[in-house]
Amino acid sequence: MLHRPVEPSQYTSITFTERLAEAGIAPSVGTVGDALDNALAESEIGLFKTEVIGPNGPWQGVDDVELATLTWVDWHNTRRLHSACYDLTPTEYEQVYYGQHPAQQLAGASTA
């Protein structure tokens, strides 16, 4: 009987899925062809490419790209106002959220 060869990525995926099942872990991925898990990441990568990579090239080397990336991430999180965050920066919004939702004590932790 002839078998169709399994692509390396398919083999890794099968092995990974089996290992998760053995450990009792549910994978946080969608079904084949379901891009919902990647939508936010792809949106952010698209913004990054549009705002940083495209307009600022050609790049002289990896160090230049790393510095530009760090600068953009800092701006993105600490200075960019976001309408979904009630026109706060993501960092400010997170601070407000955790100010209103203090961390819960871990089960079994001492209160003293």
| DSSP 8-state class, residue 107 | T
Q: What pLDDT shows up at residue 30?
A: 60
Q: Which helix (H) or strand (E) holds 77?
A: helix 62-78
pLDDT at position 60 is 94
Beta carbons within 8 Å of 78's beta carbon, 6+ residues apart = 89, 90, 91
- pLDDT tens, 60-112? 999 999 999 999 999 999 999 999 899 999 999 999 998 888 777 666 666 55
* Domain residue ranges of the chain, discontinuous segments joined by +: 59-101
Q: How do residues 16-61 score in pLDDT, each as one tens digit?
A: 788 888 888 877 666 665 556 677 778 888 989 999 999 998 999 9
CB-based contacts of 17: which residues, under 8 Å, 6+ apart?
A: 27
pLDDT at 107: 63
CB 59 within 8 A of CB 65: yes
| Dist. CA 48–CA 83, nearest whole Å | 18
Helix (H, G, I), strand (E, B) or coil at 82: strand
